């Protein structure tokens, strides 16, 4: 398995998925090698050593703004292709494929799938499998569409449109070349199938270890507390909290002046600086554990307007027993009965009214939280997902 970062601790979407896949594969008797980048703190966790026969970590590649600009202007490649480009990674991958025998190589996300064409040139006997975290071209199209609504974001919208076209062509080449493609939802599978033709494509949802979210003690947040969690340099998350703060929070404060909005997640973007001076908004930055915030929330909010894949942040909130208000896009990719445990609203007025209704109905919040906890265990615990992973491998010709 090739990953963008060491998937431990599993605190971000990509790490949660990669760690869950490793755990499920190990539990089904597979011997695993993990080949990953590290971010300068080369901490090979015992948890990874227990799951993998070998863990190989390589220093994360660096890329300057000038290098990105040159690529944008002088090539037709999408930005994502060079994001993880590393000669050391190529050399290490080649060494592993030449000296070891593997049944399969899993490339986690499109950033790491950029090594799939190189692996193909080495003519390994292994099946090359692309695990698509998102339908990336569709994600960029959505970002462009949302940014185009704001004149100040028009340059970003134009950039995203250019990237969407380039990613579409590149993603098609990866999907055509791979021996197997895994999508994280039925919705993503529908977007990726035209790029894949009639070749095998399977759906293996992202999941969580639901029992891990049962016992955390709630944090003493200023109540009533609304909580959002996510990596806060990720464009869809930044857009979500800015939209919430600008369009939804003022509608709520008019009725409940003491309301507080907690934005919990690492690497806050500079775009969030105006929010950090607002007395009713708390931008935490990196925290050791999001679970105390989830257990301390009156309502968990997911006001996403762009993105694809499965929102693991929603699964974590559900496993923690949160009452949740989310946009339709945030809930996309979830099974129908799981969506029934959420409240869905898409425009600012409806989103605010739905939050207010829940804040005024504590018994309903508890009922929704218990329903969410139950259905997420049934459908999105890794114990429930593992059989789907096993079947996908069989579909790709791996017994």
Positive/negative CA dihedral, 122, 128, 132, 137: positive
For 161-202, write each residue's pLDDT tens digit.
888 899 999 999 999 999 999 999 999 999 999 999 889 899
Say whether both 167 and 191 belong to one domain. Answer: yes
Same-domain status, 44 and 166: yes
pLDDT-derived band of residue 80, with 50, 70 and 90 as boundaries? confident
Residues 225, 203 share a domain: no
- Domains: count for the chain: 2
90 and 133 share a domain?
Answer: yes
Do 198 and 135 lie in one domain? The reply is yes
pTM of the model: 0.87
State the pLDDT at residue 114.
94
Asked if residue 85 lies in contact with residue 61, where contact means CB atoms within 8 angstroms, the answer is yes
Q: Do 167 and 301 reside in the same domain of the chain?
A: no
pLDDT in tens, 208-244: 999 988 877 788 899 999 999 998 998 899 999 999 9
- Judgement on whether residues 347 and 365 belong to the same structural domain of the protein: yes
pLDDT digits (tens, 9 = 90+) for 101-124: 999 999 999 999 999 999 999 999
CATH number at residue 350: 3.40.50.2000
Are 176 and 231 found together in one domain? no
Instruction: Enumerate residues 6+ apart whose C-beta is below 8 A from 34.
Output: 1, 3, 6, 7, 22, 48, 51, 52, 54, 55, 56
15 and 127 co-located in one domain: yes
3 closest CA partner among 125, 83, 106, 78: 106
Claim to verify: residue 144 and residue 71 sit in the same structural domain: yes
- Which domain, by its residues, includes 263? 211-380
Q: Nearest 5°: phi and psi at 229?
A: -125, 150
Q: How far is it, in rounded angstroms, from Cα 270 to Cα 281? A: 15
Distance between start and end Cα atoms, the chain: 18
Same domain, 76 and 54: yes
Same domain, 257 and 287: yes
């Amino acid at each position: 398995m090739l990953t963008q970062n060491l998937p431990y601790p599993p605190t971000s979407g990509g790490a949660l998925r990669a760690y869950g896949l490793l755990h499920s594969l190990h539990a089904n008797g597979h011997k695993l090698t993990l080949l990953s980048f590290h971010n300068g703190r080369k901490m090979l966790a015992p948890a990874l050593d227990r799951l993998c026969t070998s863990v190989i970590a390589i220093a994360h590649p660096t890329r300057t703004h000038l290098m990105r600009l040159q690529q944008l202007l002088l090539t037709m490649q999408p930005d994502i292709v060079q994001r993880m480009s590393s000669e050391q990674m190529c050399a290490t991958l080649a060494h592993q494929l030449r000296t070891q025998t593997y049944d399969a190589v899993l490339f986690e996300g499109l950033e790491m799938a950029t090594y799939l064409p190189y692996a193909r040139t080495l003519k390994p006997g292994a099946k090359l499998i692309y695990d698509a975290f998102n339908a990336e071209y569709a994600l960029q199209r959505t970002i462009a569409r949302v940014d185009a609504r704001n004149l100040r974001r028009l340059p970003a919208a134009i950039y995203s449109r250019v990237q969407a076209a380039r990613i579409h062509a590149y993603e098609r080449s990866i999907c055509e070349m791979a021996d197997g493609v895994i999508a994280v939802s039925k919705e993503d599978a529908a977007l990726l199938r035209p790029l894949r033709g009639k070749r095998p494509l399977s759906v293996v949802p992202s999941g969580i270890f639901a029992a891990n979210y049962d016992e955390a003690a709630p944090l003493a947040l200023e109540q009533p507390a609304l909580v959002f969690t996510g990596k806060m340099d990720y464009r869809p998350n930044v857009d979500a909290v800015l939209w919430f703060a600008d369009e939804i929070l003022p509608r709520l404060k008019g009725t409940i002046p003491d309301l507080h909005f907690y934005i919990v997640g690492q690497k806050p973007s500079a775009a969030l600086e105006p929010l950090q001076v607002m007395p009713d908004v708390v931008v935490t930055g990196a925290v050791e554990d999001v679970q105390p915030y989830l257990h301390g929330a009156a309502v968990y909010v997911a006001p996403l307007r762009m993105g694809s894949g499965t929102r693991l942040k929603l699964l974590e909130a559900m496993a923690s027993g949160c009452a949740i208000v989310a946009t339709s896009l945030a809930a996309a990719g979830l099974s129908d009965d799981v969506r029934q445990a959420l409240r869905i609203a898409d425009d600012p007025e409806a989103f605010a009214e739905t939050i207010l209704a829940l804040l005024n109905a504590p018994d309903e919040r508890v009922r929704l939280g218990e329903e969410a906890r139950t259905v997420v265990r049934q459908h999105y615990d890794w114990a429930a997902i593992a059989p789907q992973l096993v079947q996908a491998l069989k579909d790709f010709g791996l017994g």
